[in-house]
Each structure stands twice: as C-alpha cells, then as structure tokens.
Structure 1
C-alpha cells in the first residue's frame, strides 16, 4: 500500500520508524516547516516503556535520557505535602527522539494537504494530528484541558532536585516541574478552570530563572470510547486523535505509542483495530468519569468508590508502567482534594 502518515509528533514519528522497513510505501507529512517542528508539552515518561518502544526501532533510549527520577514531591492545595517513590519516571529529549525516528524517512514538512488530495494519491491515511484530529470526522463532544509551559534555565541552582507537582482544587489539573538536567526544567500547568498560566507565572516569579521557550496547546482528555469513529473511509486515527491520554495524569506519550503497536498488529483490519483499542483502553473511561465528576463538582465518593477501586487496582498492577509506587493513601489524598 501507499500510506500517508499525517503529523510528526509522538505517534506519527514512532509509526514512521515502525513502518520504515515494511513492504509499504510510506510518506509522512508535518504541517510545520523543519525549523519550527517542535514537541509540545513536558518531556516526562517511563524509562522501561520507552526502552521497549525504542528497541522495536533499533534505538537505545539511554541516548535520549535526561533525568532519572527518584521521588516526586507533591503539594496539595490544603498545603499537605508528601513524596511518591519513583521507579522509572524520567525526562528525555522528546524532540530529539522524534527527529531520530524520522531522520531516514520520507517526510514532507510545511504542508498539510486536504483530505480530497490525499485520497486520490494514497491507499491509507493515518491521522496522527493529535488534538487537531484534522482528517477524521468531528467528535460529537470533546473534553480537553488548556496547557501552558516554559522551558527555564537556572543559573544559580534549580528550585527542586526532582519531579514536583501541585494538583489544583477539584482535580481540575495540576502544575508541574520536570527537571531537565543540571540547569534546566520544564514548568507548566494544565487546568480546566484556566488558571494554568497564572500558576506557571507565579512559580516563575517565586523561583526565578530565564525563560528560553514558551509552549502551549490543549490536551484531549476525552477517552477512546468518546472519540469514535476511529476510522472513516481511507482514514484511520492513531494516538491522541482518538483519545489516548490517561486523564488522571494528563499523560499521553506511552498510551499513544501503545496505540501505534496496536495499529501495527491490526492495520489491515480496521474493525479488529477498533475492538483492540476498546479492550486496551477500557479502564480509561472509568478514569475519565472519575476526573470529570471532580472537575464539575459532581463528585460523590461512595458513588465513585467502584471506579476508584478499579483505578487503584489497575495502577497498582501496572506500577512499572506508571513509573511510581502506587499507594491507596496517596490516591485518596488526591481524590479528596
């Protein structure tokens, strides 16, 4: 087949690397020109998971690793503070890995062809355009958080030696501090109530530092069960375009790369792909319902208890995938915020 992969972000670039040595003719499209091609949002991920993804493309994740976390410092809105032990949570050169995935691939920059043009030339069009979902039909009802972030350089020492987060009241989002080596960090926030810029600027004012980059975009929290259709005609969605973000953490790197693996196993059968997506991301709907109820101030803990237990069991069973020690007490502190 002749395949067009639209969008060179996390999902699109990884898919290009996976398809590179296949029997298909693959062309990637990135709407930004080469010099403006960038990676939006914090560079936090799980070392073991990314190591396995990289192995599938003949790459060594250690070449892109920046900071290997030991503890995550958490400050709640009622000034309760605690630390979460980490087991693999890290920061990495996200843009560097994206560019490495596609360095030997056929990628056309600065162009976003219309669907009609693509349909004439390609047998399959893979929508990896993330939040924009540029080539799939519009969703009936979306749900997203606006985000805002600075990359900051510190000349007189960093304010924190490891990961730091401040969940907002009602779980409407959180502020993050992600270390990027000795003198740099990403600071930013996502918030449904739109206090994300204020929180980020207050942290910058308090701790100082030189802003070297500013980024921001919405992140989709609507889960795959709310992002249908996954395919339409020649178009099939992969990654955040079909809702692969874990709503409790606002984390989409690993879920989007998992989606690529699922697509690779089912790319010749879209119905099988849909069933595999539904099965793999089924717990995400429980997580989304839990978070949305908190955000909309429609939360009843007794009513939400079955979902809370299911979320805890899922995360506890998959501690290595989430890169942290999961304790029910910590989860309760966040849930009661």
Structure 2
C-alpha cells in the first residue's frame, strides 16, 4: 500500500520505524521545517517498556537515557508530603529518539497537505497529529489541559535530585520537575483552571535557574471512548489523536506507542482495530471519569468507589508498566486533595 503518516511525534515516528522494510510505500509528513522539528512536553517515560519498543526497531534505549529515577517527591496542596518509590521512571532525549526513528525514512518536512491531496495519492492516511487531530472528523466534545514548560539550567546546583510533582487543588492538573542530568531540568505544569504558567514562573522565581527554552501546548485528556470515530474513509487515527493519554498522570508516550502496535496488528481491518483499541483502553474511561469529577468538584468517594478500586487494581497489576510503587494510601491522598 501507499501510506501517508501525518505528524512525526512519538506515535508517527515510531510507526515509521516499525513500517521500515514492511514492503509498503510509506511517506511521513511533518508540518514544521526540519530545523524546527521539536517535541513538546516533558521527556518522562518507563525505561523497561521503552527498551522493549526500541528493541523492535533495532535501537538501544540506553543511548537516549538521561536520568534513571529512584524516588518521586510529592507535595500535596494541603501540605502533605510523601515519596513514591520508582521502578523505571526515567527521563530520556525524546527528540533525539524521534529523529533516530525516522532517520532512514522518507519524510517531507514543512508540509501538512490537505486531505483531498492525500486521498488522491495514498491508499491509507494515518493521523498521528496528536491534539490537532487534523485529518479525522472533529470531536463533538473534547476535554484537555493547557500545559507550559521551561527547560532550565542550574549552574549552582539543582533544586531537586529526582522527580518532583505538586498536584493542584481539586486535581485540576499538576506542576512537575523532571531532572535532565547534572544541571538541567524540565519545569512545567498543566492546569484546567489555567494557573500553570503562574505556578511555573513562581518555581523559577524561588529556585532560580537559566531558562533555555519555553514550550506549551494543550494535552488531550478525553479518552478513546470519547474520541470516535477512530477512522473515516482512508484516514485512521493512532495515538493522542484518538485519546491515548492516561488522564491521571497526563502520560501519553507509552500509550501512544502501544496504540501503534495495536494498529499494526489490525491495519488491514479498521473495524477490528476499533474493537482492539476499545479493549485495550477500557480502563482509561474510568480514569477520566475520576479525574473529571475531581476537577468539577463533583467527586464522591462512595459513588466513585467501584471505579476507584478498578483503577487501583489496574495500576497495581501493572506497576512495572507505570514505573512506580502503587499504594492504596497514596491514591487516597490524591483523591482527598
């Protein structure tokens, strides 16, 4: 087939690498010029899981590893502090890995052709444009958080030796500090009530540091069950374009790469792909309901108990996937925040 992969982010670049040598005629499109091709949002992921994905395409994840986390420091808005033991949560050079995934692929930079042009040229168009969802029908109702982030350099010592987060009141988002080696960090936040820039600037004012780069974009929290259709005509969505972000953590790297694998198993049958996506991301809807009820001030532990227990059991069962110790007490602290 002649296949167009639209958007060279996490999902699009990994899909390009997986399709290398497949026998298909694949072309990638990136709307930014090559010199401005970038990766927005913090570079946090789970090392053993990314190692597995990289092995599938002949890459060594250790070549891109920056910081191997041991503990995540958490400070709640009510002053409660605790640490979460980590099992593989790390930071890595996300942009370098994306570029490595597509280094041997045919990619047209600085182009985002209209759908009509693509339909005339290709048998399949894969929408990996993330939040933009440029080639799929628009969602009837979306749900997202604005985010903002600095890359900061600390000449006189970093403020934290490991990961640090501060959930906002009502769980409307959180502030993050992700270490990037000996003297750099990603410092940012996302917040439904749009206090993310204020919180980020307050941290910079308190701890200092030289701001090297500033980035910001919305992140979709609407889950796959709310992001249909997954396909329309020749177009099929993969990754954040169909809602593959784990709303409780705002994490989309691994879910998007998992979505690539689901797509590859079902790329000849879009209906089967839809069903496989629904099965794999079924718990995401419960996570979204939990987060949205907190944000809107409608959370009730009694009413939400079945979903709350389902979320805990899912995360506990997949501790290695989430890269951290999952404890009921910690989730309750978050729920009560």
TM-score range, shorter chain: over 0.9
Aligned to 2:68: 68
Classify the secondary structure of the residue corresponding to 1:217: strand
| CA drift at 1:10 | 0.2
| CA drift at 1:20 | 1.0
> What TM-score do you get using the length of structure 1 for normalisation?
1.00
Classify the secondary structure of the residue corresponding to 1:245: coil
Aligned to 2:54: 54
Question: How many Å separate the matches in 1 of 2:197 and 2:36?
Answer: 23
Question: How many Å separate the matches in 1 of 2:267 and 2:23?
Answer: 13
Question: How many Å separate the matches in 2 of 1:317 and 1:21?
Answer: 35
| CA drift at 1:113 | 0.2
| CA drift at 1:226 | 0.2
Q: Does 1:316 align with 2:312?
A: no
Aligned to 2:39: 39
Superposed structure 1 runs of 4+ greater than 6 Å apart: none
> What TM-score do you get using the length of structure 2 for normalisation?
1.00
Aligned to 2:285: 285
Aligned to 2:207: 207
Cα deviations by residue, 1:9-59 (Å, 9 ceiling, x for unpaired): 000000000001101000000000001100000000000110000000000
Aligned to 1:144: 144
Aligned to 1:86: 86
Question: How many Å separate the matches in 1 of 2:191 and 2:335?
Answer: 16
Aligned to 1:126: 126
Question: How many Å separate the matches in 2 of 1:245 and 1:233?
Answer: 25
Aligned to 2:10: 10
Aligned to 2:267: 267
**Count of residue correspondences:** 337
Question: How many Å separate the matches in 1 of 2:56 and 2:70?
Answer: 27
Question: How many Å separate the matches in 2 of 1:253 and 1:84?
Answer: 21
| CA drift at 1:332 | 0.4
For the aligned residues, what is the CA RMSD?
0.3
Question: How many Å separate the matches in 1 of 2:45 and 2:330?
Answer: 20
Question: How many Å separate the matches in 2 of 1:78 and 1:233?
Answer: 50
Cα deviations by residue, 1:113-159 (Å, 9 ceiling, x for unpaired): 00000000000000000000000000110000000000000000000
Question: How many Å separate the matches in 1 of 2:230 and 2:78?
Answer: 41
Question: How many Å separate the matches in 2 of 1:213 and 1:27?
Answer: 30
Q: Which runs of no fewer than 5 residues in structure 1 stay unpaired?
A: none
Q: Which runs of no fewer than 5 residues in structure 2 stay unpaired?
A: none
Aligned to 2:188: 188
Classify the secondary structure of the residue corresponding to 1:293: helix
Aligned to 2:334: 334
Question: How many Å separate the matches in 1 of 2:297 and 2:331?
Answer: 18
